[in-house]
Amino acid sequence: MSRMIRDEETVPFYKQLRNKILDDIESGKLKHGDKLPSERELAEQYKISRMTARHTLTVLEREGVVERRVGAGTFVTNNKITMDFVTFNSFTKNMLNKGLTPSTQILSITEIEATPKLIQKLHLSQGEIVIALKRLRFVNETPISIEESFISKKLCPELPNLIKDNDSLYAILENEYGIFLVKCKEYMQVTFSDDSESKLLRIRSESPCIYQEAVAFDKDNKEIELSTSLTRSDIVKFYSEMNLK
């Protein structure tokens, strides 16, 4: 395609160019680390304005497909981490199984009185104390999500003294308390990061992210953990599979 299709009823020029670049990446013509033409070169090649070319690159950057480096140019960074809904597993095991290096930084661990939401989701008693654990998740030293876990203190009273950076919460629950989480009910939606979240994730403020909320159950089908996570959508994609009836 040497120029954009000029018809008022067709897809906008920036979307046409975006789709062309995505097609080149999908086909292997463009690979991770390849440098894209400059805004001027794209404008000349496809007979569009530089503003349209700039907007195309901005959209691709926000989608995590390219990275714009000051003084160097725009490079393909289509190297997303795949996280699936098929297998319920700990974050650490999930990443290790993919050959990636996970790490975790504890941001805070506190004891709070169960909120109405926690009482309802985890079937707790009024006034029950809950351990609230907030962590920052990394893959290959890149921050990808902010995660919060809420568990009744009655189930794991010494958890604040046991868990450290890079520890697996689920491994501690299994090894120290004999609690084995076997399934979860999970919901997700698109949201936008605020200033503090953006700083932790090293992204622009109000960047699109995936918000997830899950309740994990043990083998007796008892609600054990409520967790929430805010995950970068620019470098993470989600996968699932299903059978059609």
Considering only the top CATH level, what class is 13-76?
A: mainly alpha
How many residues can be counted in the chain?
245
Residue 199 has pLDDT above 90, yes or no: yes
Confidence tier at 5 by pLDDT (50, 70, 90): low
Nearest alpha-carbon partner for 19 in 9, 7, 33, 30: 30
pLDDT of residue 10: 73
Task: Kindly report, residue by residue over 166-194, the tens digit of the pLDDT.
Answer: 999 999 999 999 999 999 999 999 999 99
Task: Kindly report, residue by residue over 213-237, the tens digit of the pLDDT.
Answer: 999 999 999 999 999 999 988 777 7
Helix (H) or strand (E) holding 55: helix 50-62
CA atoms of 41 and 56, how far apart (whole Å): 13
pLDDT of residue 1: 46
Query: Which one-letter DSSP state was computed for residue 25?
Result: H
Residue 55 has pLDDT above 60, yes or no: yes
The residue to which tokens 């990808």 are assigned = 144
81-239 has which fold? Chorismate lyase (3.40.1410)
97-101, 132-136, 215-219 — which is least confidently predicted? 97-101
Contact 1, 46 (CB under 8 A): yes
Count CB neighbours of 16 within 10 A. Answer: 19
Nearest alpha-carbon partner for 84 in 225, 174, 188, 215: 188
pLDDT of residue 101: 82
Mean pLDDT for the stretch of residues 34-44: 92
Q: What is the percent of the chain with per-residue pLDDT over 90, rounded to a whole number?
A: 56
Three-state SS at 37: coil
pLDDT of residue 65: 82
Q: Provide the residue ranges of all domains of the chain, joining segments of one domain with +.
A: 13-76, 81-239
pLDDT of residue 61: 83
Please state whether the predicted TM-score (pTM) of the whole model is above 0.85. Answer: no
CA atoms of 183 and 190, how far apart (whole Å): 23
CA atoms of 173 and 159, how far apart (whole Å): 9
pLDDT of residue 62: 78
pLDDT of residue 140: 83
CA atoms of 104 and 200, how far apart (whole Å): 12
Residue 69 has pLDDT above 90, yes or no: no
